[in-house]
Structure 1
Amino acid sequence: MLTYLIRRLLLMIPTLLGITIVVFSVMVMSPGGIGGQLQADTMNMKPQERKAMMDYYNKRYGLDQPAPIQYLKWLNNVSPIGFEVKDDGSYGRFSLTKGMSLGQSFMYGRPVAEILGERIPITVLLNVLTIPLIYIFAIAIGIKAANDRGGRFDVSSNMIMLGLWSIPTMLAGVLLLGFFANVQHWHWFPTAGLGKRDAQDMVFMPHWGSLWDVIKLGLGVFLGTAFAIALARFNNQVVRLWVAAGIGMAAGAWMAYAHNGFLWINWIFLPLLGAVILVGLAYIASVPFRAASLGLVGMSLGLLIATQFVGQGYVRGFLLDRIWHLVLPIICMSYAGFAGLAKIIRTSLLENLSSDYARTARAKGLSEQDVLWVHVFRNSLLPLITIAAGLLPSLLSGSLIVENIFSINGMGQLAVEAVKGRDRELVLSITWISGFLTLIGYLIADFLYTLVDPRVTYD
């Protein structure tokens, strides 16, 4: 295993070189070449000013030198070993400890490392919150659907997951903004960014005018959750469905009342939609799933009702302001992911549940739960590990569509800006980091294969 790891690590070097050479060659062969945007920006200058500006760019970034020399200089800068670079741009002695430098950005005129240091935490925050949600929902739904093959939950969840997976992210983002962040409809969420400017001066945690307001909110959450869970565990299905329909219609009517402007279709469509959703959740055969779904709805409704009785003096605080801004982007980034992953988990579990070793385990007298969790689930993790190999680079690559729709200055938006501006240093740095993380992700996935499946060995 150690020999295999060393070999894979050594193979990363030519792979990264190949990736960066391809990207650099594409930039060179594109119309205008590297720094083409810089030349376009100087077209309105006087000839003397334009010449002085281009001389400055050529001296600082070496744009007047042959393309191979430019690439070798960049490679020397990002390599931890190589020739030391002096202040005037000339090269000194060869050093094994010269350190790494990602260079200066053409567009921003700042060190690339500083720019990445500002953008990376934003993208990491989005993905750290999104990825656990995707896997929790996908694993739970996939396991339940596989256990209930051909049943009510399996059929309904397959239809819902297929519908969610089919909705383009750009359409979902625009619809969420158009309805839930628009002043003409429900202005419940902000339209852009990750926080308001005045939130930087707020206290970190939310603050209420009195302790009684906090008690009201706590009671609202507790009573709403308790009632919803009690309803989910109620055995009489007819009564449970009628109560759920009534709550759904009331919630839909409240939503129609909160709409800016009277529309008669809202008073018909929204109560019916609320009733259908709540009845669907109350109709779930699995008690744990039913309790979790209705409990989440009850907690939300209880909190919303309690906020109507809170007095003056409420300060949202930095934490809630950040969460408030993250709700819509996280919904956009997660719904398609857990929908597709749930289908993959279901297929993998069904394949292993019908295999010979699962039938042998049942013949020995093991319960279906033991067969699932002790034998089948572990072997079904292989597709999840393969998909998870791409999670590490996605932490930095960002979601271009979501970041553009919600005006979030993350890595996805930065990569597009760098490509449009032909920013050599920025494009190559992003490519190098993303390629390195991709290779590390595949290496970790190969190692996890050996932990999950003993038959996999690299000796």
Structure 2
Amino acid sequence: MSRFLLRRLGIMLLLLVGVSLIVFALFALMPGDYYSSNRQLTPARLAELRELRGLDQPVMLRYLTWLGNAVQGDFGFSLVYNRPVTEVIAPLIWNSFLVAFASFVLTWIIASVTGVLAATKQYSWFDRFVTVMLFASLSIPSFFLGLLLIKFFAVDLQWLPAGSMLDTASTSTGISRVLEIARHMVLPVAILTFLGAGSLTRYFRSGMLEQLRADFVRTARAKGLSERAVVFSHALRNALLPAITLLAFELPALFSGAIITEQIFNWPGIGRIQLESVQTRDYDVVMTITIFLAVLTIVGSFLADILYALADPRVRLVNRTRAS
């Protein structure tokens, strides 16, 4: 198992280098940059600034320079904010992580519970209700749902704040600040959970329906095992395998999907700054955020491999055979 993990870590590093090279090349080949968008600069001053920033050098040389600095924790300089990129996005990443992690946990809990119950109670009223909500989550645009929730819960009922992370001119500290942030998180987390739980519930439901018709489940029932043991100890463990595959894409999808959500609720996260950086051509910021999402995808794939080995004994057997 240790050799398998080391091999996977080596593959992760190679993938990360390859992804960073492709992303850097794509951004470098895009027409224009931050300086060229300023029409007040003379051609001589524009060439001087581009040379000062190294933008006149070949793409490969610029990439190697960026990679060497990135290994040391230097991801470039934001020309818009006039600060290092890490200082710009570090607090915003944690703000986005709060929403993304809460949505991730709720999505998996809701999807697993509703998917299993819908499969065990196929064609019941609960199964039909889950199916309707599933298609609704896949069909309703996030911006429309967000505005609808703001209208209902923030404007009409005034139960929840309409946006931002804290109240205007807030001076709360300690547990009061935590509760205030949690209250502002309710609507964006609810939207991301609703949109994410739909597709995941579909995988759990279809996987459970397939496993409940399998021969080993009939054998377990014939042995006299309780229905609870059959569903949760036998069928669910095998039904988890297709859903584990989605783990590699769940967190990056939540962060990328938060771009629209953060715009609607004025949440100070990396989604907003990523969109603003694309508009202002602040490519160091966009590059860092894109690499961050790539790291999440690669790490998610690594965790999926580990969970596969924990859920399916056959994977561990294959790994031991290869190691020997």
CA apart distance, 1:127: 1.4
CA distance in 2, matches of 1:190, 1:449: 41
Pick the aligned partner of 2:272 from 392, 413, 425.
413
Letter in 1 for 2:68: N
Letter in 1 for 2:58: P
1:344 aligned to 2:203?
Answer: yes
- Aligned to 1:40, the other structure's residue is in SS state coil
Partner of 1:259: none
CA apart distance, 1:445: 0.7
CA apart distance, 1:352: 0.6
CA distance in 1, matches of 2:295, 2:173: 39
Range with greater deviation from structure 2 (438-447 or 50-59): 50-59
- Aligned to 1:455, the other structure's residue is in SS state helix
CA distance in 2, matches of 1:365, 1:74: 63
* 1:91-240 equivalence runs, <5 A: 99-182=72-155, 185-199=156-170, 201-205=171-175
In the alignment, is the contact (CA less than 8 A) between 1:123 and 1:395 conserved in 2? no
Partner of 1:3: 3
CA apart distance, 1:73: 1.1
TM-score by length of structure 1 reads 0.64
Letter in 1 for 2:48: D
CA distance in 2, matches of 1:190, 1:73: 45
Write 1 or 2 for the structure with the bigger share of helix: 2
In the alignment, is the contact (CA less than 8 A) between 2:100 and 2:251 conserved in 1? no
Q: Deviations over 1:123-176 (max 9, x none)?
A: 110012212211222222112111111222222322233223321112101222
CA apart distance, 1:57: 5.2
Range with greater deviation from structure 2 (426-435 or 139-148): 426-435
CA distance in 2, matches of 1:348, 1:390: 18
1:74 aligned to 2:71?
Answer: no
TM-score by length of structure 2 reads 0.89
Higher-Rg structure is 1
- Aligned to 2:35, the other structure's residue is in SS state helix
Distance 1:169 1:395, change over 3 A: closer
Distance 1:14 1:140, change over 3 A: closer
CA distance in 1, matches of 2:182, 2:73: 36
In the alignment, is the contact (CA less than 8 A) between 1:103 and 1:112 conserved in 2? yes
Q: Deviations over 1:101-134 (max 9, x none)?
A: 2121222211111112111110110012212211
Letter in 1 for 2:172: M
Partner of 1:38: 35
CA distance in 2, matches of 1:139, 1:407: 31
CA apart distance, 1:372: 0.8
Distance 1:21 1:176, change over 3 A: same
CA distance in 2, matches of 1:179, 1:375: 43
In the alignment, is the contact (CA less than 8 A) between 2:104 and 2:254 conserved in 1? no
Distance 1:55 1:125, change over 3 A: same
CA apart distance, 1:321: 2.3
CA apart distance, 1:194: 0.7
* 1:427-438 equivalence runs, <5 A: 427-438=286-297
In the alignment, is the contact (CA less than 8 A) between 1:398 and 1:410 conserved in 2? no
Pick the aligned partner of 2:51 from 34, 58, 74.
58
CA apart distance, 1:340: 2.3
In the alignment, is the contact (CA less than 8 A) between 2:277 and 2:285 conserved in 1? yes
CA distance in 2, matches of 1:337, 1:395: 8
Q: Which runs of 5 or more structure 1 residues have no equivalent in the other structure?
A: 80-98, 206-316
Report % sequence identity. Answer: 35
Partner of 1:252: none
CA distance in 2, matches of 1:109, 1:451: 47
Q: Deviations over 1:265-297 (max 9, x none)?
A: xxxxxxxxxxxxxxxxxxxxxxxxxxxxxxxxx
RMSD value over aligned CA atoms? 2.2
- Aligned to 2:82, the other structure's residue is in SS state coil
* 1:262-341 equivalence runs, <5 A: 317-341=176-200
Distance 1:324 1:3, change over 3 A: closer
CA apart distance, 1:397: 4.6
- Aligned to 1:160, the other structure's residue is in SS state helix
Q: Which runs of 5 or more structure 2 residues have no equivalent in the other structure?
A: none
CA apart distance, 1:54: 5.6
CA distance in 1, matches of 2:199, 2:294: 25
In the alignment, is the contact (CA less than 8 A) between 2:104 and 2:251 conserved in 1? no
CA distance in 2, matches of 1:359, 1:27: 55
